[in-house]
Structure 1
């Protein structure tokens, strides 16, 4: 049941208003570090609660919509809260609080410069993420998608050195370039073909494109779909993935933001939204769009996993792992079978909690030891047992081992590939599990099982500040709990569509 422009629907504005005001509050408190960071904590808590209060209605089958303004007939700034949007909004706002605590330990521990700018841009990125999550139209999604890109650029370039500017430049060129060259034309074609940019809410079978339009212009609709997939480069599908490893020049908390909270999640969320609420299952089937997308995702999974095996820098390995893991979401949604779609959408939050734990761990290791190379981590687990203890289950989640949450979503995707009769894709998924084990297991094996190098002097090292270690332990524990109680997000997926 769609509920438009009521008092309840107007509450969609509250989390956006909080995240819009938060950057200004942070800037006003720039003279006092404690007050500045308190603003982030308060905003994160208020935003999460304001999103959470929508959950009971959404779980009961209500879709809240609110039109802020109409620019042209069929082109409006309209918000919505349904099962899919709630998943992204909840994880982005919930993890913001954890990231803020971690930021304090990291930024103060390394005495980083421009901390007020850093926290301000971080808050605006969350504003963009919430806007993407609550987008009811392609036009709305496009605006907030670009907000994320623009305000994460200063975060990627934070160190303001040659390497930082080069990585940030590639980041901006890839993401702004693809959105202008592909996503914007896709929107124009959609409007020309259908007369609207309103996505089809509450109906995953029938999308924005009526059957008569598909019958009259099948190839033009196919071109529109390809433009959407290419334009949403935040999903890091090959060949538009290289910006992600290059963006690892950013501080580690920014990498966590990129990989777990806002940026790449905005990409795979937007692709999922376009496939399920834009084109719909019937159009995807009729035009034969699902299987080629799934194969592109499978190629990305295997290729990125092979590259990850070659990386000794822990952030580089985690970056290519993210490129691979994001494509599990795409492959699940593109297969269009009930189990695969559920698994793909579940992997959005499951990957978020596990991957933020891994990046938090990498940052804690760097703050405590200034070590970046995996080959230099022998025996570190004995000096940093909490950090590596949380790193281990998060790694198992990426591999897909029970009982951690990554196992659940991957199990659904594997089952969905069997439902679709795609044995070759099943083999690719199983191969990727072996590759994931190949580049994750050596990290905690070295940390706990191998003796340190004679000249390593690891006795000088201890755990990072508690403001860093506590968040990563909590997110690691949540990864395990979500594996035991996957219905937390599965209920939202079932409220979104009858898969």
Structure 2
């Protein structure tokens, strides 16, 4: 993989005013969502235009700030804010290439999901509550992306749990409340395990800052079993949100939530926060060389591979469309974990780029599932017969997302699997090729029958829900974000080698932060 010529790690000298601005920018990115949440919570329910305007303004402001910082990071600028709470514990925000990748994903997809949610919840009750917690969720996700140490990461990680729970139970039905309880049991339990690992590590190394294993540089006297235990606790706690087997049970259950929430859980926030946290633990807390020496990467790769195949097999058995997509997420997110478990730059790049690629493809699929439900009253796979003739634009977007998940070139999913395969050969782990091939075949087995129903089966009529008699594509506010994310999935694959593409960012992270 070609190395990118990078500026010095800390950039050029800055004036006092410029230094203050650079320190405050990460905080401003988070504040856009926090201030939007406060404003939305106090709005009366009928102020839907003002609420929508506030949502969109905050989303656009966040995206602009992230792009600003991203361009600065590429030029070697340093954006960091540190506030010491007590001796040995500090609140740290820091924008590095990896954090900007995740913050960029969250910002772009938040904008599309906001537009989609405005259309989806047009006549629904409790919209101020929904969009208030929706904004808190995004603030938490960006806080996770820009956290500069484990303590700050944990604060936002737990805030993410608390802010997403009201979204999961938004409908207030008995089924939604039961799903919310399951979600809390899993995620709060995982948070407790993560906190234990952080506490043990803090006792050994003090405040653990992110940055190429710097936190463990002075732990040569610590026994390997202690470090392996801490690694297991950290990855186990994060593995709940990353939906790694056997910690995945909350994810399919949470599909009772509205479609925008499902998209948020799977593509933007929760599962990505878990996977992103595992990347931080492997590369920033322990460092790839120490992790390899401890012998923890092999078992992590094996667990990720099993989860990839298990999730695909479970997806095959699901009749409900959103549950099938949920088990697909269980499988797909573990590609990220598998990639960072491969000891080499190509595998790492494959795992990191999938952080972005999976988000684009999966949010497209969940948008489509929401469109079918809202327009045709369809929730099951066997109810989709002929939907392509009735909703061609939505069905084209679903087809693109499904082919991307399978790994059909030149879509984004193909780029991921190609780099993971090269990384497996580079690391001398040829068995991973078998996992990738088997996974692709299973992806085809649970997506192609859906596409056959959509495009080649005779049209059903009337549709399952008596309310839907007319045959037409969906509301423009639901259709525009769906087509946009589908188009990005194509562009990310076709132009993967160009500057500023997801693959470009992944190679920047590998070259600058982890494997220089």
Could you tell me the TM-score, scaled by structure 1's length?
Answer: 0.95
2:141 corresponding residue in structure 1:
129
2:74 corresponding residue in structure 1:
59
Given the alignment of the two structures, is residue 2 of structure 1 paired with residue 2 of structure 2, yes or no? Answer: no
Gaps of 5+ in 1: none
Given the alignment of the two structures, is residue 168 of structure 1 paired with residue 180 of structure 2, yes or no? Answer: yes
1:178-229 CA-partner distances (Å, limit 9, x unpaired)? 111x1011111111111222122xx3xx44212x624531100000000011
In structure 2, distance between residues paired with 1:136 and 1:143:
12
Any residues of structure 2 matched to 1:201-216 within 5 Å, and which? 203=212, 206-210=213-217, 213-216=219-222
2:54 to 30, 39, 45: 39
2:169 corresponding residue in structure 1:
157
1:112 corresponding residue in structure 2:
124
In structure 2, distance between residues paired with 1:247 and 1:2:
42
In structure 1, distance between residues paired with 2:27 and 2:170:
31
Q: CA deviation at 1:273?
A: 1.1
1:49 corresponding residue in structure 2:
64
2:237 to 231, 235, 239: 231
1:490 to 498, 503, 506: 503
1:299 to 298, 306, 326: 306
2:450 corresponding residue in structure 1:
443
1:402 corresponding residue in structure 2:
409
2:3 corresponding residue in structure 1:
none
In structure 1, distance between residues paired with 2:68 and 2:60:
12
Q: CA deviation at 1:459?
A: 6.7
Q: CA deviation at 1:94?
A: 1.2
Any residues of structure 2 matched to 1:100-499 within 5 Å, and which? 100-108=114-122, 111-180=123-192, 182-200=193-211, 203=212, 206-210=213-217, 213-232=219-238, 233-453=240-460, 460-487=470-497, 488-498=501-511, 499=515
Q: CA deviation at 1:35?
A: 1.0
Could you tell me the TM-score, scaled by structure 2's length?
Answer: 0.92
In structure 2, distance between residues paired with 1:334 and 1:6:
38
Q: CA deviation at 1:7?
A: 2.8
In structure 1, distance between residues paired with 2:250 and 2:49:
34
1:332-373 CA-partner distances (Å, limit 9, x unpaired)? 011121100001000011011110000000000000011101
Q: Are the counterparts in 2 of residues 2 and 65 from structure 1 also a CA contact under 8 Å?
A: no
Q: Are the counterparts in 2 of residues 59 and 492 from structure 1 also a CA contact under 8 Å?
A: no
In structure 2, distance between residues paired with 1:215 and 1:378:
64
1:19 to 33, 36, 39: 33
In structure 1, distance between residues paired with 2:65 and 2:509:
20
Secondary structure (helix, strand or coil) at the match of 1:291 reads: helix
Q: Are the counterparts in 1 of residues 378 and 463 from structure 2 also a CA contact under 8 Å?
A: no
Q: Are the counterparts in 2 of residues 354 and 394 from structure 1 also a CA contact under 8 Å?
A: yes
Q: Are the counterparts in 1 of residues 389 and 459 from structure 2 also a CA contact under 8 Å?
A: no
1:147-171 CA-partner distances (Å, limit 9, x unpaired)? 1110110100011111001101100
Structure 1 residues 45 and 454: alpha-carbon distance in aligned structure 2, compared to 1, 3 A threshold: closer
Quote the RMSD (CA, aligned, Å). Answer: 1.6
1:237-260 CA-partner distances (Å, limit 9, x unpaired)? 111111111110101110000001
In structure 2, distance between residues paired with 1:459 and 1:441:
27
Q: CA deviation at 1:456?
A: 5.1
Q: CA deviation at 1:494?
A: 3.1
Moved more, 320-329 or 29-38: 29-38
Q: Are the counterparts in 2 of residues 357 and 475 from structure 1 also a CA contact under 8 Å?
A: yes
Q: Are the counterparts in 1 of residues 348 and 510 from structure 2 also a CA contact under 8 Å?
A: no
In structure 1, distance between residues paired with 2:400 and 2:422:
23
Q: Are the counterparts in 1 of residues 462 and 469 from structure 2 also a CA contact under 8 Å?
A: no
1:437-495 CA-partner distances (Å, limit 9, x unpaired)? 11111112211111134765997332111100111001100100000122412333333
Structure 1 residues 214 and 240: alpha-carbon distance in aligned structure 2, compared to 1, 3 A threshold: farther
Q: CA deviation at 1:303?
A: 0.5
Moved more, 461-470 or 474-483: 461-470
Q: Are the counterparts in 2 of residues 75 and 197 from structure 1 also a CA contact under 8 Å?
A: no
Given the alignment of the two structures, is residue 87 of structure 1 paired with residue 87 of structure 2, yes or no? Answer: no
Gaps of 5+ in 2: 1-8
* Structure 1 residue ranges (4+ consecutive) displaced by more than 4 angstroms after TM superposition: 3-6, 453-459
Secondary structure (helix, strand or coil) at the match of 1:66 reads: strand
